[in-house]
Structure 1
Amino acid sequence: MWHRSSEVFVLMGTAVDAATRDTNGSLIEKNPTVVFVLGGPGSGKGTQCANIVQHFGYTHLSAGDLLRAEIKSGSDNGTMIQNMIKEGKIVPSEVTIKILQNAMLESGNDKFLIDGFPRNEENRAAFEEVTKIVPAFVLFFECSEEEMERRLLGRNQGREDDNIETIRKRFKVFVESSIPVVEHYKSRGKVRKIDAAKPIEQVFQAVKTVFTVHNDKAVA
C-alpha cells in the first residue's frame, strides 16, 4: 500500500507543483490573515472555531474535513490520502497545502482559521515556503489527555477512530509532532494559549479576548 501510494504521489508531483505555483500567485494577491488552530483530539477546536466564525467573520478550514471530503470524492488523490491514513501516515504536505489553498481561493473571505494544520514541523515549513504566508498567531487549545479521552468517548459521532486505543495513539502523535510547531511559534511570540479544559463558554471568553486584542492592534 505504502509503495503504491508513494508512486501515485510521485506521478502527481509535477502537476501538483505547477498547480500550486499558479494558486500561490493568486493567494498572495489576496493577502489573507491566517490563524493556525492547534490542540489535541477532543480539545474543542471545532466548537470554538464555529464561535469565532460567528463573532469575528473568519472562514473555518479544517484540514481533516477537507482531506475526508477529498477521500469521499473518489479521486486518485483521495485514494492515496485514504491509503496513507489507514497506514497511520501523515499526508504529504504538498497535497494538504494544495487543498487548503484551493479552499482559501474559493472562499470570498480573506480571514481564515486553519484547524489541525500544520501537524508537524515539516508541514509548517512547507506551508510558509509554498504560500509565503506566516500566521498572524497560533491559537493553542491546551487540554489534558484524560479530559480529551472523556470527551471523545462521550461524543458518539460514529467516527471509526473514536475508540480508546486509537484516541491514545492520536494524542501521542499530537504531542510528538505538533507540540514542536507550538514551540516554534512560541519562540516568535505568536502563540495564544487557551485553557481548553474549562466549560465551553469560559473557553470562548478567553478566545474572544485574544481576537479582540488582535483586531485592536491591527486597527492601530
Structure 2
Amino acid sequence: MHFPKSWKDWGHHKKEASDKMTTTDDASETFKSFTPQTDGTTVVFVLGGPGAGKGTQCERLVRDFGFVHLSAGDLLRAERERPGSQYGDLINNTIKEGKIVPSHITIGLLYNAMKNESDKLRFLIDGFPRALDQALSFEEHVCKAKSILYLDCSEQVMLQRLLKRSETSGRVDDNIESIKKRFVTFQETSYPVVEHYRQLSKVKTVGCEKDVDAVYDDVKAAVAEVLAETTEKK
C-alpha cells in the first residue's frame, strides 16, 4: 500500500497530529494531509453488535488470508492510555457512555496504523465505521471499502457473551449499563451503515449464534467470495 509523503509525515509526528484532532475545524486540517488510496488496497469492514465475535473471527481471517487486522476499539483504548494524549479523557468517557468517538480521531488512528503496515494490501477493520459519517469520511480520505462483513447476532446472545467476558476483560464498557447503551448506539447509528452498504450490494451477512468453528466456516466462505470478486475486477 503506497502512502504519500504527507501521510508518512503525519504518522511520524504522531503526537503533533493527534493533538490536532480535537475539534471539527482541526479535523478538516488533519484530513488535508491525507491522499485517498487507489492502488489495489482491499479494505473489509467487519461490523456487528457488541459481543458478536468480530475479533475472534478476524484472528482466523488473518491466519488464512493474510489480512492485517485493525480493531478501532483497540486503537482507541491504546490512545486513551498513551501518555500525553490530549483526548484520552474524551475517549474514556465516550466509551463508558457507549457513544461514538469523534470520527476524525478514529480515522486518524486508523491512518497511522495502516501507515505502519504500508507494504500490505489487505486490511480487516473491525468495529468501524460505527456511523455513516465515519464511513463516508474514511472512503473520501483513505480508500473505498471492498465489502462489509456483517456478523448478525441477537442481543440476548451478545449480552451473555459480554457478561461472561467481563469476568476477565477489565474493560470499562463491559458492564450491564454500558452494554445496554452500546446496543442502543449500534441500532441507532451503526446499523444504518450496514443498510447503506447493503444498497450498494457490498454486504456479506453471516449469522453468528452457532459455535465459533461453524460461524467461521461461513465467514471464511464469505470473505473468499469477496476476494474472488476483487480479483475478477482487476
* RMSD between aligned residues: 2.1
Task: After TM superposition, give the deviation of residue 83 of structure 1 in Å.
Answer: 4.0
User: Do structure 1's residue 154 and structure 2's residue 164 form an aligned pair?
Assistant: yes
Output the TM-score relative to the length of structure 1.
0.87
Post-superposition Cα deviations, 1:117-169, rounded to whole Å, max 9, x if no partner, equal: 111112112222222x2211000000000000111111222222222222122
* Distance in 2 between residues matched to 1:134 and 1:145, nearest whole Å: 30
Output the TM-score relative to the length of structure 2.
0.82
Answer whether contact 2:42 2:121 (CA < 8 A) is retained.
Answer: yes
My pick for the range that moved more, 47-56 or 69-78, is: 69-78
Instruction: Tell me how many residue pairs correspond in the alignment.
Output: 209
* Distance in 1 between residues matched to 2:182 and 2:99, nearest whole Å: 12
Answer whether contact 1:121 1:180 (CA < 8 A) is retained.
Answer: yes
Answer whether contact 1:141 1:195 (CA < 8 A) is retained.
Answer: yes
Q: Which residue of 1 aligns with 2:215?
A: 203
Q: Which residue of 2 aligns with 1:119?
A: 130
Q: 2:47 aligns with which of 26, 38, 49?
A: 38
User: Do structure 1's residue 47 and structure 2's residue 59 form an aligned pair?
Assistant: no
Answer whether contact 1:81 1:91 (CA < 8 A) is retained.
Answer: yes
Task: After TM superposition, give the deviation of residue 89 of structure 1 in Å.
Answer: 4.1
* Distance in 2 between residues matched to 1:29 and 1:187, nearest whole Å: 23
Identity within the alignment, %: 46
Question: What are structure 1's unaligned runs of at least 5 residues?
Answer: 1-7
User: Do structure 1's residue 58 and structure 2's residue 58 form an aligned pair?
Assistant: no
Task: After TM superposition, give the deviation of residue 29 of structure 1 in Å.
Answer: 6.0
3-state secondary structure, aligned to 1:28: coil
* Distance in 2 between residues matched to 1:111 and 1:86, nearest whole Å: 31
Task: After TM superposition, give the deviation of residue 77 of structure 1 in Å.
Answer: 3.3
Answer whether contact 2:96 2:178 (CA < 8 A) is retained.
Answer: no
User: For the structure 1 residues 88 and 213, does the alpha-carbon distance in structure 2 shift closer, same or farther, using more than 3 Å as the test?
Assistant: closer
Q: Which residue of 2 aligns with 1:171?
A: 183
Q: 2:102 aligns with which of 64, 88, 92?
A: 92
Q: Which residue of 2 aligns with 1:5?
A: none
AA in 2 matched with 1:38: L
Question: What are structure 2's unaligned runs of at least 5 residues?
Answer: 1-20
Q: Which residue of 2 aligns with 1:68?
A: 77
Q: 1:189 aligns with which of 201, 206, 226?
A: 201
Task: After TM superposition, give the deviation of residue 19 of structure 1 in Å.
Answer: 4.3
